[in-house]
Amino acid sequence: GAGVSQSPSNKVTEKGKDVELRCDPISGHTALYWYRQSLGQGLEFLIYFQGNSAPDKSGLPSDRFSAERTGGSVSTLTIQRTQQEDSAVYLCASSRVGETQYFGPGTRLLVL
Amino acid sequence: RKEVEQDPGPFNVPEGATVAFNCTYSNSASQSFFWYRQDCRKEPKLLMSVYSSGNEDGRFTAQLNRASQYISLLIRDSKLSDSATYLCVVTLSGGYNKLIFGAGTRLAVHP
């Protein structure tokens, strides 16, 4: 079946611009996660959605970062006023609760 | 101190070699343990879960030592296709599956 999909696969933007990253989870997966992988670093948890519960935003690095999940399915991660240190691969994962997380291919973001 | 620490490598080994990776975690409340594999410019994929009793999946053996807070992965009879970065991952108790990743250990298997 279809896996997690993310778009765009690559994004180049100028410092100070806003960007939106999209994640389509696997159908039937109620849990959705965003992670960030900076060059040479491990994956860093950003935010978690589970059903209709309030999201866990504890990993968001600053208030320039926000995320939504509409209708319990598609999620968008928005970064406002991008900075060069935001350059990274942004990975989305989904799962059934308590089960294995499946990752999407990621969005490579480069802030010039 | 990082929550999950790994030797970044790279480990350069010939085909057929046995190679072992270790990982340490700092939070004694860690509950679940995994090894993920990540190929270059690809997403991480679950390789195997790690259980206290140790577990094996073909050429791969994982061990967990809760007292010392370390996890190991042993790969026997290395194949060229095993070349990848191996990520040590833990989750904390009392919550959902928020994954905490090590930075990874790079393995290069050569002919």
Q: Is A98 on the interface with B (CB under 8 A)?
A: yes
Reported as a pLDDT band with limits 50, 70 and 90, residue A1 is low
Answer for the pair A23, A6: CB distance below 8 angstroms, yes or no: yes
Residue A37: predicted pLDDT = 95
Chain B residues near residue A97 by CB distance under 8 angstroms: 96
Report pLDDT for B6: 94
Closest CA to B25 of B108, B103, B106: B103
In this complex, do B101 and A40 lie within 8 Å of one another by their Cβ atoms?
A: no
DSSP code string of A16-57: T--EEEEEEPPTT--EEEEEEE-TTS-EEEEEEEETTSPPB-
Q: What pLDDT is attached to residue B107? A: 97
pLDDT tens digits for A84-109? 999 999 999 999 987 889 999 999 99
Chain B residues near residue A104 by CB distance under 8 angstroms: 43
Q: How many helices (H) and strands (E) does chain B have?
A: 0, 11
> What residues are paired with B19 via a beta bridge?
B75
Nearest to B44 among A44, A97, A103 (CB): A103
Q: Return the structure tokens found at A71.
A: 């209708």
Predicted confidence (pLDDT) per residue in A34-86, tens digit = 999 998 778 999 999 998 888 999 999 999 999 999 887 999 999 999 999 99
B87 and chain A: CB distance < 8 Å anywhere? yes
Q: How far is A83 from chain B, CA to nearest CA, in Å? A: 22
Shortest Cα–Cα distance, B96 to chain A (Å): 6
Provide the CA A11 distance to its chain's centre, in angstroms: 14
pLDDT class of A8 with cuts at 50, 70, 90? very high
Residue of A43, A73, A71, A75 lying closest to A59 (CA atoms): A43
Q: Is A47 on the interface with B (CB under 8 A)?
A: no
Using an 8 Å CB-CB cutoff, list chain A residues near B103. Answer: 40-42
Higher pLDDT, B29 or A24: A24
- Nearest residue, CB atoms, A42 vs list B43, B46, B101: B101
Chain B's closest residue to A94, CA to CA, is B97
Euclidean distance between CA atoms B23 and A10, whole angstroms? 32
A35 to chain B: which residues are within 8 Å by CB?
Answer: 99, 101
Which of A9, A7, A8, A109 minimizes the C-alpha distance to A65? A109
pLDDT tens for chain B, 111 residues long, are 789 999 999 999 999 999 999 999 999 888 899 999 999 999 999 999 998 888 999 999 999 999 999 999 999 999 999 999 999 999 986 556 789 999 999 999 999
Nearest of A65, A63, A69, A56 to residue A36 by alpha carbon: A65
**Helix, strand, coil content of chain A in percent (nearest 5):** 5, 50, 45
Out of A40, A97, A105, the one facing B96 most closely (by C-beta) is A97
How many other C-beta atoms are found inside a 10 Å radius of the C-beta of residue A52? 8
In this complex, is the C-beta atom of A28 within 8 Å of any C-beta atom belonging to chain B? no
